[in-house]
């Protein structure tokens, strides 16, 4: 009888400890994810501000210039219509970041960091493509002003996006580095017959 009572008491104590640990972990996860959402929204505000500034400035100057310079501003406007759309969607499509599990949190963080690195690679291609377009326009018998103007614009936009994506990646990674507890709660991951699993360290 005493042994049963001891086991029952021990079970309740272990359950209480586990419940408290999980509650603390969820609070940490919610705080981490809400900060990530805020950081991402701030990034979208930077991108959106660049886009609006380009559309307004180049939209005005496009009407005041001709030739290569006009094409430069024309591409700035067209390019930043896309940037504005991405910024708007990225800002308003984010959830609050509350209630995610540890596995979901790690997946969300990994996804955004990987996307930014992939984008940075694409940005290098944009700059190279713009340089190629400029070279093509300047090596014609008659200079192709549209190719040169478009090329200059693409170089500018690609260079900005490269700086933006690398800077944004740094801030996202720094956010993860500032929260080392995140991965400390993961004891190990495994793949079994029923799928992928993660075991948690609640110490």
pLDDT tens across the length of the chain (203 residues): 555 555 554 443 333 333 334 455 888 899 999 999 999 999 999 999 999 999 999 999 999 999 999 999 999 999 999 999 999 999 998 887 788 988 888 889 889 999 999 999 999 999 999 999 999 999 988 889 999 999 999 999 999 999 999 999 999 999 988 888 776 655 444 445 554 444 445 45
| Per-residue confidence (pLDDT) for residue 15, from 0 to 100 | 39
For residue 186, the 8-state DSSP code is E
- For residues 99, 105, 111 and 114, what is the CA-based torsion angle, rounded to 10 degrees? 150
Residue 149 forms part of a structural domain? yes
pLDDT tens sequence across 142-179: 889 999 999 999 999 999 999 999 999 999 999 988 88
Residue 89 forms part of a structural domain? no
Rounded to whole angstroms, the Cα distance separating 54 from 161 reads 13
| Per-residue confidence (pLDDT) for residue 190, from 0 to 100 | 44
Q: Of the candidates 157, 131, 143, which has an alpha carbon nearest to the alpha carbon of residue 74?
A: 157
Rounded to whole angstroms, the Cα distance separating 201 from 181 reads 11
Residue 84 forms part of a structural domain? no
* Total residues found in the chain within this entry: 203
Residue 72 forms part of a structural domain? no
Residue 165 forms part of a structural domain? yes
Residue 55 forms part of a structural domain? no
pLDDT tens sequence across 78-89: 999 999 999 999
Contacts of 139 (CB under 8 A, 6+ apart): none
Supply the range of the domain harboring residue 6: 2-45+100-195
């Amino acid at each position: 009888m005493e042994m049963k009572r001891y086991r029952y008491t021990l079970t309740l104590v272990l359950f209480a400890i586990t419940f408290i640990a999980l509650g603390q972990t969820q609070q940490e996860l919610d705080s981490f994810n809400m900060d990530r959402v805020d950081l991402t929204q701030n990034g979208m505000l930077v991108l959106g501000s660049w886009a609006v500034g380009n559309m307004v400035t180049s939209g005005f100057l496009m009407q005041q210039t001709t030739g290569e310079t006009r094409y430069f501003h024309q591409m700035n406007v067209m390019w930043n219509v896309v940037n504005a759309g991405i910024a708007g969607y990225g800002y308003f499509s984010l959830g609050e970041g509350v209630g995610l599990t540890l596995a979901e949190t790690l997946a969300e963080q990994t996804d955004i960091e990987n996307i930014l690195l992939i984008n940075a690679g694409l940005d290098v291609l944009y700059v190279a493509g713009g340089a190629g377009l400029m070279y093509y326009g300047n090596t014609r018998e008659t200079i192709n002003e549209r190719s040169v103007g478009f090329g200059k614009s693409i170089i500018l936009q690609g260079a900005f996006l490269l700086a933006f994506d690398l800077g944004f990646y740094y801030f996202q990674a720094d956010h993860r580095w500032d929260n080392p507890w995140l991965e400390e709660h993961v004891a190990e991951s495994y793949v079994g017959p029923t799928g992928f699993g993660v075991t948690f360290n609640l110490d």
